[in-house]
Amino acid sequence: MRSRHIFRAFPDVEVAMMPVRNALVVGAGIGGLGAAAALGRHGVDVEVVEVRPDSRVVGVGINQPGNSLRALDVLGVLEECLAVGYPYDRNEHLDWQGRPIVVTPCSLGTDRVPPNNALARADLHRILLGAARRAGARIVHGVSVAELVDDGDGVSVTFTDGRAARFDVVVGFDGIRSPLRRRLFGDAYEPEYTGFAVWRVTLPRPAEVTHTMLFHGDRSNTGVIPLSREEMYLLHVTAEPEDARYEPADFRELLRRRLAGYGGLVAELREDLPLEGIVYSPLSEVHLPAPWHVGRVIVLGDAAHASAPNLTQGAAMALEDAVVLADELARDRPVEDSLAAVSAARFGRTKLVQDVSHGILVTEMSITADGLEEFAMNLREHLPGQAAFIEAELNKPFRLERSADVVAP
């Protein structure tokens, strides 16, 4: 057993010296920045490379459920997120004319964290970027991996800007179309299109939008989620061809057409859609079997387990990945064993989220106008129990029991 060296990475955090001295994180999204912050808080020297030229974020709003907030608490940014977000504790289901079906209270969260906290994606990214930098991470934009060689003792990396460096571990949070996943596993696990896409846009928040409201329509689904005292975001899920290519200039009219038939609040919102700021995203999944690593290189987040968004758990799973990765790499054992433990610990939980999210998506998108009444009856009867079950699973601890030689943050 190597000796236990304790040093101060932060004034208020004691951390054990890690077997991993330095790490490369590929991708500066939510998961990548979370990993940089988590590893840095454990004393690891972290470099993050991001192919995008700057830190601007494409997206609208994002909900962070209670388990994600627990991960953000580990990273030391919970209070920042709560300060700019909108906490809420229930989901309301309605038909597409605005008639109530059922309200389900959210049992996620703890005494310290609320069941949900929605916020602007740009705010979450800014907060995590700050956390990564405070933890000592270097963030390099406009750069990706050109060459990667794992010789068993470390990983030699050549970057697209011509630099070369050596790392104890390489972590890919490089998204659903992950080049790093392709390097490790070939093209066998490319994204699988679900047949559906989501339209999102930020709008002023009406006073009645104090929680998630989901409106079930004719083979479509619309939702509104509060982001702050002033703003909310609207989402609309539709069936779309896999090869659909729409011009952003047409998004407003395309979304207005797809919202035709909705009444009540959604009809009002349809008339006030902005000319710009609408985001269109095809919904795809990634099903990478465990283990998610080869040697000293691992992929996590959407690169390993991209999911449909119906449980709002995509970012949550990536942030949990980041925390568990840092925990496991802090253990006094070979890096490859720690990486194997990460995917073993994470696979079942992420698969549960994938399976449930996919089931909700397919079920909701199969409902026709004629079948809405029967769907509403089933929702009233079964949804409260189903929601309580999945939330009980997600409320379980996601961190493994820590080894005796690690003082966790």
CATH number where 128 lies: 3.50.50.60
Measured CA angle at 63 (ends 62, 68), to 5 deg: 115
Report in angstroms the alpha-carbon separations of 341 from 262, 299, 346.
48, 13, 8
**Residue 319 resides in a domain:** yes
**Residues 6 or more apart in contact with residue 353 via CB below 8 angstroms:** 305, 307, 311, 313, 317, 394
Calculate the average pLDDT of the chain.
Answer: 93
**pLDDT at 5 (0 to 100):** 30
In contact, 26 and 173? CB cutoff 8 Å:
yes
- Model confidence band, residue 400 (pLDDT cutoffs 50, 70, 90): confident
**pLDDT at 145 (0 to 100):** 98
**pLDDT at 99 (0 to 100):** 97
In contact, 315 and 357? CB cutoff 8 Å:
no
> What mean pLDDT is predicted for residues 16-31?
87
**pLDDT at 407 (0 to 100):** 35
Cβ atoms within 10 Å, residue 130: 14
Locate 322 and state its tokens: 């980041």
**pLDDT at 402 (0 to 100):** 58
**Domain count of the fold of the chain:** 1
Domain membership of residue 185 as a residue range = 6-86+114-191+284-369
**pLDDT at 206 (0 to 100):** 97
Report in angstroms the alpha-carbon separations of 337 from 25, 329, 342.
19, 9, 9
Paired sense of beta strands 138-141 and 45-50, if any: parallel
**pLDDT at 18 (0 to 100):** 57
Locate 137 and state its tokens: 């991470």
**Residues 6 or more apart in contact with residue 202 via CB below 8 angstroms:** 60, 61, 120, 227, 231, 232, 233, 277
Residue 43: pLDDT above 60? yes
Report in angstroms the alpha-carbon separations of 191 from 94, 95, 170, 199, 269.
32, 32, 22, 19, 32
**Residue 186 resides in a domain:** yes
In contact, 319 and 394? CB cutoff 8 Å:
no
The sign of the dihedral angle between the CA atoms of 80, 86, 92, 96 is negative
Residue 207: pLDDT above 50? yes
* pLDDT tens-place string over residues 94-144: 999 999 999 999 999 888 999 999 999 999 999 999 999 999 999 999 999
Decide: helix, strand or coil at residue 297: strand
* pLDDT tens-place string over residues 305-358: 999 999 999 999 999 999 999 999 999 999 999 999 999 999 999 999 999 999
**Residue 30 resides in a domain:** yes
> What mean pLDDT is predicted for residues 237-244?
96
* pLDDT tens-place string over residues 368-397: 999 999 999 999 999 999 999 999 999 999
- Model confidence band, residue 196 (pLDDT cutoffs 50, 70, 90): very high
**Residue 67 resides in a domain:** yes
**Residue 239 resides in a domain:** no
The alpha carbon of 290 is separated from its chain's Cα centroid by a whole number of angstroms, namely: 19
**pLDDT at 19 (0 to 100):** 80
Paired sense of beta strands 169-172 and 297-299, if any: parallel
Q: Phi-psi bin for 8: left (phi > 0), alpha (psi -120 to 50), beta?
A: beta
Half-sphere exposure of 112 (CA within 13 A, CB side): 11
In contact, 30 and 53? CB cutoff 8 Å:
no
**pLDDT at 16 (0 to 100):** 44
Give the percent of the chain with pLDDT over 70.
Answer: 93
